[in-house]
Amino acid sequence: MLSCRRWTIAWQEGGTPWGFVTADSHDGVIAARERQLGFARQYARFFEVPIDERYTDPSPPICETCELGAVPAGRFGTGQKFGDSAARQALADAEVKLAALDAALDEHMPRLTDAARLAHDSSVGKSAKAYAKQLRLAVLDVAKLRLALDNASVLRSERAAKSAGEAAAAQLESLAASLGTLRTAVAKEVAKAHGGRYYEDGASGADRPYLQVEVDGFEVTGTYFVGKAKSTWFHGHVDLDGSITGRSLLAPEGSPLTCNQHSEECGYVYIPSVLRFTERAPAASGQPDPKAQGETVQTAELWFQRSTWVMAKPFTRSHGS
């Protein structure tokens, strides 16, 4: 009995295929088509451009490979004239690279909404638009390279397979680099607004404890200082929405520590944490300084995820200091 081993939908332009979408089942290939088409629709909507015409004429789902049995294996020896051994190895390598690019889109595609929002911000808009464009090209490339590898398989072309694999790897690197540039740009603005020293709320004196917030690239570190002693309380990163998430090394609930050092060796464990900033009136933050009347105080809040979310002692500074 005939059985379908793979389903294919061809993206067409003027009746000529320019890309393929494939899956192991009919429902799977429909879902894969809608994934790419949905992205094209969102891109057009958010950036106020016509939908890419290359997505307007998909073929019906095609049961492309129906077989009575398996194709005989080992028909060609290594180096045999018109053989396929070199092409098969190149195809296998390229399939891994294309699969990596396709999988990466699951992580990148949801960020289109962040890129669209940031595109309207004068400080990061250029980087946001560049990332969105790179993401659009990556989605197109997944379809184009799927067709290229299918053709390379039929033609037994080692060169075509290698070229497609190299293109997939290069696109993956470009997409990651573009995202890194945007995240760094967002983090730079966050650093301008929130980086620096925050004193422990209610403490006084020249040596009062403080939290130093530092942003390096898009990595964020919060270090607690008491005199000459210091300890890293937070390590995380700036997300595209401006939030700062990461982890903190804390004493576990209900378990004793084995020594006095702030370390995993002594029994401390890493738990999810969030660093956020709030602006308040001076009196509300415990700093009723007459000189600060009319100004706001910026508060650094470090939240830890235990059985419930709890906040450490707040740290404050005058706005703009």
Segment 247-257 mean pLDDT: 88
* 123 and 204 belong to one structural domain: no
Res 311 pLDDT > 90: yes
Q: Give percent of the chain with pLDDT exceeding 70.
A: 88
How many other C-beta atoms are found inside a 10 Å radius of the C-beta of residue 6? 16
Res 300 pLDDT > 90: yes
Unique residue bearing structure tokens 């005058």: 318
* 87 and 107 belong to one structural domain: yes
Q: Which of 76-85, 180-189, 261-270 has the lowest mean pLDDT?
A: 76-85
Within a domain: residue 130?
Answer: yes
* 164 and 66 belong to one structural domain: yes
* 58 and 33 belong to one structural domain: yes
* 133 and 44 belong to one structural domain: yes
Among the three residues 159, 192, 225, which one is the final residue of a domain in this structure? 192
Within a domain: residue 76?
Answer: no
| Domain count of the fold of the chain | 2
Res 48 pLDDT > 90: yes
pLDDT of residue 2: 56
* 236 and 170 belong to one structural domain: no
pTM: 0.83
Segment 280-292 mean pLDDT: 56
* 62 and 177 belong to one structural domain: yes
Unique residue bearing structure tokens 């081993």: 5
Nearest to 218 by CA among 251, 260, 255, 246: 246
Unique residue bearing structure tokens 């609930």: 253
Structural domain boundaries, residue 150: 3-71+81-192
Distance from C-alpha of 135 to C-alpha of 202, rounded to nearest angstrom: 48
* 107 and 228 belong to one structural domain: no
Unique residue bearing structure tokens 């760094």: 184
3-class secondary-structure state, position 56: coil
* 112 and 137 belong to one structural domain: yes
Question: Distance from CA of residue 200 to its chain's centroid?
Answer: 34
| CB-based contact 53:44 (threshold 8 Å) | no
Within a domain: residue 131?
Answer: yes
Within a domain: residue 227?
Answer: yes
Distance from C-alpha of 243 to C-alpha of 252, rounded to nearest angstrom: 25
Tokens, residue 132: 């969105």
Unique residue bearing structure tokens 């603005």: 189
CATH value at residue 238 = 2.40.128
Segment 70-94 mean pLDDT: 66
Q: Please indicate whether residue 87 or residue 230 has the higher confidence score (pLDDT).
A: 230
For 177-212, write each residue's pLDDT tens digit.
999 999 999 999 999 999 999 999 888 877 899 999
